[in-house]
Amino acid sequence: MTPPILLIAGPTASGKTALALRAAQTLGGEIVNADALQLYADLTVLSARPTLDEQAGVPHHLFGVADGADGWSVGRWLRAASPILEEIRGRGRMPVVVGGTGLYFKALTEGLADVPPTPAAVRQSVTAMYDALGEARFRELLASADPDAARRIEAGDRMRLSRAMEVLEATGRPLSAWQADTAAALEPDDWRAVAIVPDRVDLYARCDARFDAMLAGGALEEVRALLTRRLDRNLPVTKAVGVRELERHLAGDLTLEDAADLARQETRRYAKRQLTWLRNKTPDWAKITQTDADAAWGQFLALEATLTPKP
C-alpha cells in the first residue's frame, strides 16, 4: 500500500517541528517544508528552521532552497512540493508535510487557482496605483470589482491586495472567480492531517521564549546581513517577524530590548492569526492541544490509528 501523506500544521512555537521529526522517525517518513519563510536561505534563525542536527536523522525537503530576492508564491511552492511528495511515496516512505502557512495546506487539500502570470507592466502600474491612493482607497476600488477578495484580505496585507488587483487588471476576471475554479492537489484518500491548537496563554509564553532564543542564536546578525542586500521591501523575506523590529534597533531608533519587545508582541499576534485560521479552516482535522514534546507525542499516538490506514 502506498503510504499516505501526513500533514502537520500549527502556529509558530507550537512544537510542530519536534512532532514532525518524531513522526517521520517512527513512521518511516521524510519531512517536507510548508512554512513560507523557512524556504529562504537568508532566514535560518528568524524562521526557526530545523537545525542541522535535527535534519541529519531524517531527509528534509524545501528548507532554505530559495534566495530572498526571489519571492515564492503559493503556486510555486505547490509546483515544487508536488513531485517531491510523489517521489517520497514512490520510495515507499511517508511524506510528512509540516509548517504554519495555511495557504500551502489549502492548496494541497482544496486546490489552487491556475491564474495566468501577470505582465511586469501591470505589476508596475498596480504598485504605482497603490502608492498614489493608499490602502483604504485601493481596497475600495478592488471591492467594487472583487468584493470577496477585498473582504478576505487582512488589513495591511499590501502584497495580497496588489495581487488581487493585478489579476483583475491582467485578465479582466476577479481573483475570487479564478479561485472558485480549483481542484485539490491531493486526492481525499491520499492524506491525513493533524492541527496543533494549543492553549493561547501557553503558546504566547512559548512565542516569547522562542524570540529570546532567536536573539541568543544570532537573529541580529542575520538581520544585519539581510539588510546589506537592499532587497525590495515587498518581498516576503523582508516581512518576517523580527526583521523590521531589529532593523530599527540597528538604525539607532530603538534599544535592543524595545525592539525585542515589539518583535515578541508581533510574534504573538502572528500566532493568534495562525490559530484562528486553523480553528476556522481545519474543523475536521485531528487536533493536538499539547505543546510539551512528550505530551504532544502521546496525543499523536492516540490519533495514529485514525491517521494511518490499515493494510
Q: Is the pLDDT of residue 202 over 60?
A: yes
Kindly report, residue by residue over 105-114, the tens digit of the pLDDT.
Answer: 999 998 877 6
Sheet with 5-9, side-by-side order of all strands: 60-61, 29-33, 94-99, 5-9, 191-196, 286-288
Architecture of domain 5-112+183-307: 3-Layer(aba) Sandwich (3.40)
What percentage of residues in the chain have a pLDDT greater than 90?
Answer: 82
- Position 113 scores a pLDDT of 72
- The rounded distance, in Å, linking the Cα atoms of 84 and 187 is 16
Kindly report, residue by residue over 255-295, the tens digit of the pLDDT.
Answer: 999 999 999 999 999 999 999 999 999 999 999 999 999 99
DSSP, res 46: T
For the chain, residues classed under CATH 1.10.20.140 are: 120-180
Q: Is the pLDDT of residue 310 over 70?
A: no
Give the right CATH number for 120-180 from 3.40.47.40, 1.10.3720.10, 1.10.20.140, 3.40.630.30: 1.10.20.140
Give the three-class secondary structure for 75: helix
